[in-house]
Amino acid sequence: MEILMPEPQIYVERTLAIIKPDVIGKEEEIEDLILRSGFHIIQKRKLQLSPEQCSNFYAEQFGKVFFPNLTAYMSSGPIIAMVLARNCAVSYWKELLGPSNSLRARITHPHSLRALYGTDELRNGLHGSLSISSAEKEIRFIFPEAILEPVPTGQRARDYLNLYVKPTLLAGLTALCKEKPADPM
Q: Which residues are catalytic?
A: 127
How many of the other CB atoms lie within 10 Å of CB of 33? 15
- CA 52 distance to own-chain centroid: 24
Cβ-based neighbours of 158, under 8 Å, separated by 6 or more? none
Q: Is the separation of the CB atoms in 19 and 124 below 8 Å?
A: no
Q: Is the separation of the CB atoms in 74 and 138 below 8 Å?
A: no
- Residue 127 to residue 81: CA distance in whole angstroms: 9
